[in-house]
Structure 1
Amino acid sequence: MCPPVPFITRLAAGFFLVLFFTNMAEAEQTMPARKGKLDISLVDFNQAGLVSLDGEWEFYWKQLLAPDDFKAFADPDPHYFAVPEVWNNKYAGLQELAPEGYATYRLLLLRNDSERQLLSLSIPNVYTNYKLWINGVILSSNGNVGTEASLAKPQWEPVIKTFEASGETIEIILQVSNFHHARGGVHKSLKLGTPEAISKDRETAVVANMLLVGGLLILGAFFLVFFLIRKGQRATMYFGALCLFWGIRSLFSNIYLVTSFFESTSWGLAVRVEYISLYLSMLWGMLFISSVFPNGMKALYKYILITINYCIISLTVILPPVFFTQLLPAYQFFIAVNLLYAVVVISRAIYEKQFEAWFSAASIIIGIGLFAYELTAYALVVKINLVFLNLGYLMIFFLNSLVLAYHFVGAYKQVHVLEKEKASSFERRLRRA
């Protein structure tokens, strides 16, 4: 059968074009703050939708300042720090910033009039807790901000808060501390807009995430039940486990839906589930590829794969988050190596004219694109389009389910041929008799 090269090419090209133009469209909506001030006087929130409060915020390292402290300052003399941005290995003046520490951010929003207006602020999770004031009034908090680990309590729960804006200036003060993670600071954008626009943005992200979670859990349950019915089909077990654990990871990452459903969820438990589900997804995914393309995967490689994942999962269970989260960059490199190895295995299968390998090839192309997208966003702290990302993941799992479907059809055809041969043989015996 002729391999669908044009289909693969169009699919990959379409994927990257959508990614490029989607991010370009989003980038045009950002008005960066300068020197701790953001001019929103010309913004019509009823038309503009959302404004990301990105740019240079006032930054006070090793200081937890409240609104009254700024009233007492004649000349605060701040440093300026980019938001969103982790503060690891960055500088405040001549001082290099460590992951563990605390700071105060401050931003002034300049309006063109003093009319009262109802606005909402979308506040993401930060590394790893915060307290936020609007015009001197506490609006929101996650966990407990502290000057040392014993006083600080981490929490990740993205929230939406509504307030009434009045006057020509909106002052935002944000205290942040981190003593429990390998990264510190505000790594996601705060968004300002009308309550309707902010709610719609949140609902879009939630629906996109729930579609991914629901789709993966259904796929995972189907293939795991299929494995229990027809034992011996290890590929179905591996793929079912891959779907299941990636679905679980989707609940414990990005917008952290699990904290919206269960507010009492332990932060330490949530972070461990997020990381372990990533490691297990990687393990099951590579075992799935080794099962459907057994000629290309060496036994030594599978031993190394299982050993490394066993070790890093054990460390994640045993060590506190501030230590095991430091292992993620090394594991991301390990993921990149595995993706390259998967490309080699699938390329060999294509060379050996295994038609179903083209479905995996398409999923690998998309997977590499998504991995590069997430890795870039994680390293450079840029916004992720969750709708596009989740649709990409669903496409990957759908394409790999077609690989299993192709195997099932092939097995059915072989059984059908054997049954026909058996029936023909039986008829010949009857004629001889």
Structure 2
Amino acid sequence: MWPQAKTLARISAAVLGVCLFVLLFSVVVEINGNWLTQHPKAIGGKLELSTLDLSQSEPIPLAGEWQFYWQQLVMSESFDAEIDSPVELLKAPKSWDRQTFLGQQITPSGFATYRLRINIQPTSDLLALSVPVMGTAYRLYVNQTLVDEAGQVGTNKQDSVAQYAPKIVQISVPNGQLDMILQVSNYELAWGGQWFSMTLATADKQFQAHLKKLIRSVSVAAIFVTIAILSLFHFVLRPSDLLPFLLALSCICLGLREVETSHILYITDSVSLSFNTAIRINFLTFYLALPLFTGYFRLSYPEEFRRLPLIAICSITAVFVVTTLFTPPVTFSYLMAYFQYFALVVLVYGLYSILLAAYRKRTGARLMALGSILLFSLSINDIFNSLGIISTVNMAGLGLLSFALCQNYLTYVRFINDSRAMQTLVVQANQDPLTLLFNRRGLMEAIENIDDEQRHNSAHFCVMLIDFDHFKLLNDTLGHDAGDKVLAQGAKIMQSVVRKEDLAARWGGEEFVIILPSTNAAGAQILAEKLRIKLSKELSLLLDHSITVSVGLAQNLDNERFADCLKRADKALYIAKENGRNRVVLAS
């Protein structure tokens, strides 16, 4: 079994290496695709795409400067007439509460109108807009036609209804002019407006990009679920080890978070979650993952990750969890920024602890450090991006996945090593180290099986009890090394004489017992004589000293248990000793 375990560990290490390489490659592709690719930007509320062939282009983000009208819901059919305040420009995608309007900081709660005019090449191709989630209700008009909406846009909290509803909207623009009006209201969260960028492409390109994102998200979620199931399986096999259980809970949280943040359920119309349920899943999975991961660190490296910080992390997280469960989104969403700063501190401490464990050469710490560095780097990117410190794309999901894979590999290897150690202990407990035969404890299971067979089928068996004659004198004369050699070589001779189905064991001291299933007394007596002669001849030749054995033999009576049969064999052995030794005596 051990060579198989080593092979499985090597295969798992190879699979882990491939997975980490794929994840790192995905990060590089993500960076290259989102940071280095130069897309046209909207300037002054206008986006010029007339030089691009949309049929050959990937989806283009509608990012840059949008016209912005705060606290106004301007209708597209009479746009210019309804404007009663100066035109301001606002960057999108970006929450409006992180920007200013007429020199004043915009409040999270309120309503507004965005406008963007786009010039494209006249085309008969069907185009498509990918509309992400907005903060938190919206109506979208294209060329004075309502093409999409989510929730209910209102001018006050009572009239506004929040909803997440990302989708792809198909449009036709034969004249090459798009006048986009986006009305948004937010009274539910601490941030509002365009959180993510809409994209424009031909319908084919848009659906292809959509499918790629869907496959990526489903794959990531599936890996998390698979790791969770495997970890729960390990935990069921060994409930005393909490590491697989913590890893399973962490992966369940991360899998749920991936499903929610990628909006798989909305896009595929699988399940319709209410806004309050979705936002709570988003927050709670983020909150709970932190103490679960730190608990894993604590159990793995208790000397580096102290108990007091873990208690503090769990206590602080509990406050955020309770607040999220029992207050409305407009209340608990304001706390997210504080938790992100707190998570940043915990990440730094966790990374320090893991690097310290790696420096001290703790088991598995180097691999854990690799996963932690990936997680730390990509989580910092996401936290800074969500706080508005930098403008990038969210990639913490890949970091979490790489970290979970490292954890799963280490948990699996630990499980294999623990199983190997347990098997070694079982062997040591049941095997005599000198003769490598079963000891008395190791023979107990076989004895129970024999008694069961006797009870149900009235099966016959014989018991042979073998004792080396004058063994103490042998030890005193030739030394204990010689005595050990007699016992060890004698055990090998016994195994060479008995059948495969027979069981030989060291019963204690210089006594050995051999169980002969499905054997009558006559056959057992022949085998015992053969064994007595062979032991005496070969062992005497080995030590150049006379070695003999006495054998007590008994066949079980009807309904007789092994213990009673052994007692009769022991009496027969006593008779053999009394009658001069070096003989086989069959019990009556």
TM-score (norm 1): 0.90
User: Are residues 1:206 and 2:284 paired?
Assistant: no
**Structure-to-structure mapping, 1:301-316, within 5 angstroms:** 301-316=309-324
CA distance in 2, matches of 1:385, 1:209: 13
Higher mean C-alpha deviation, range 413-422 or range 392-401: 413-422
Q: Which residue of 2 aligns with 1:45?
A: 54
How far residue 12 of structure 1 moved from its aligned partner, in angstroms, is 9.6
Residue aligned with 2:361, SS: coil
Query: Are residues 319 and 384 of structure 1, via their aligned partners in 2, closer, same or farther at CA, if it must alter by over 3 Å?
Result: same
**Structure-to-structure mapping, 1:168-247, within 5 angstroms:** 168-247=176-255
Q: Which residue of 2 aligns with 1:432?
A: 510
CA distance in 2, matches of 1:19, 1:391: 7
Query: Are residues 419 and 45 of structure 1, via their aligned partners in 2, closer, same or farther at CA, if it must alter by over 3 Å?
Result: same
How far residue 411 of structure 1 moved from its aligned partner, in angstroms, is 1.7
Residue aligned with 1:315, SS: helix
CA distance in 2, matches of 1:245, 1:333: 20
How far residue 311 of structure 1 moved from its aligned partner, in angstroms, is 1.4
TM-score (norm 2): 0.67
Deviations 1:168-211 (A, max 9, x none): 42100000111100111102111000001111111111111111
CA distance in 2, matches of 1:307, 1:391: 28
How far residue 408 of structure 1 moved from its aligned partner, in angstroms, is 1.8
Bigger CA radius of gyration: 2
User: Are residues 1:282 and 2:360 paired?
Assistant: no
How far residue 19 of structure 1 moved from its aligned partner, in angstroms, is 3.9
CA distance in 2, matches of 1:76, 1:307: 49
Q: Which residue of 2 aligns with 1:268?
A: 276
Q: Which residue of 1 aligns with 2:401?
A: 394
CA contact (8 A) 2:136 2:164 kept: yes
Structure 1 gap ranges (5+): 1-7
CA distance in 1, matches of 2:397, 2:169: 26
How far residue 276 of structure 1 moved from its aligned partner, in angstroms, is 0.8
Deviations 1:326-381 (A, max 9, x none): 11111112212222222233233223322311111111011011101211332237
User: Are residues 1:413 and 2:420 paired?
Assistant: yes
Query: Are residues 212 and 230 of structure 1, via their aligned partners in 2, closer, same or farther at CA, if it must alter by over 3 Å?
Result: same
Deviations 1:89-140 (A, max 9, x none): 4211223210111110011112354x54421000111111110000010000
Q: Which residue of 2 aligns with 1:108?
A: 117
Instruction: Indicate the RMSD between aligned Cα atoms, in angstroms.
Output: 2.7
Residue aligned with 2:185, SS: strand
The residue type equivalent to 1:197 in the other structure is K
CA distance in 1, matches of 2:167, 2:320: 32
The residue type equivalent to 1:177 in the other structure is S
How far residue 18 of structure 1 moved from its aligned partner, in angstroms, is 6.5
Residue from 72, 87, 92 that aligns with 1:83: 92
Query: Are residues 16 and 222 of structure 1, via their aligned partners in 2, closer, same or farther at CA, if it must alter by over 3 Å?
Result: closer
Identity %: 24
The residue type equivalent to 2:422 in the other structure is V
How far residue 263 of structure 1 moved from its aligned partner, in angstroms, is 5.4
Structure 2 gap ranges (5+): 1-15, 436-486, 488-505, 512-588
Query: Are residues 200 and 269 of structure 1, via their aligned partners in 2, closer, same or farther at CA, if it must alter by over 3 Å?
Result: same
Q: Which residue of 2 aligns with 1:99?
A: 108
Q: Which residue of 2 aligns with 1:4?
A: none
How far residue 60 of structure 1 moved from its aligned partner, in angstroms, is 0.5
CA distance in 2, matches of 1:407, 1:55: 51
**Structure-to-structure mapping, 1:146-185, within 5 angstroms:** 146-185=154-193
How far residue 426 of structure 1 moved from its aligned partner, in angstroms, is 6.8
Higher mean C-alpha deviation, range 373-382 or range 220-229: 373-382
How far residue 266 of structure 1 moved from its aligned partner, in angstroms, is 0.9
Q: Which residue of 2 aligns with 1:344?
A: 352
Q: Which residue of 2 aligns with 1:3?
A: none
Q: Which residue of 2 aligns with 1:130?
A: 138
Residue from 39, 43, 57 that aligns with 2:66: 57
Give the number of aligned pairs.
422
Query: Are residues 107 and 158 of structure 1, via their aligned partners in 2, closer, same or farther at CA, if it must alter by over 3 Å?
Result: same
**Structure-to-structure mapping, 1:3-22, within 5 angstroms:** 19=27, 22=30
CA distance in 1, matches of 2:418, 2:271: 48
How far residue 390 of structure 1 moved from its aligned partner, in angstroms, is 4.3
Query: Are residues 14 and 198 of structure 1, via their aligned partners in 2, closer, same or farther at CA, if it must alter by over 3 Å?
Result: closer
How far residue 14 of structure 1 moved from its aligned partner, in angstroms, is 10
CA distance in 2, matches of 1:35, 1:116: 28
CA contact (8 A) 1:12 1:365 kept: no
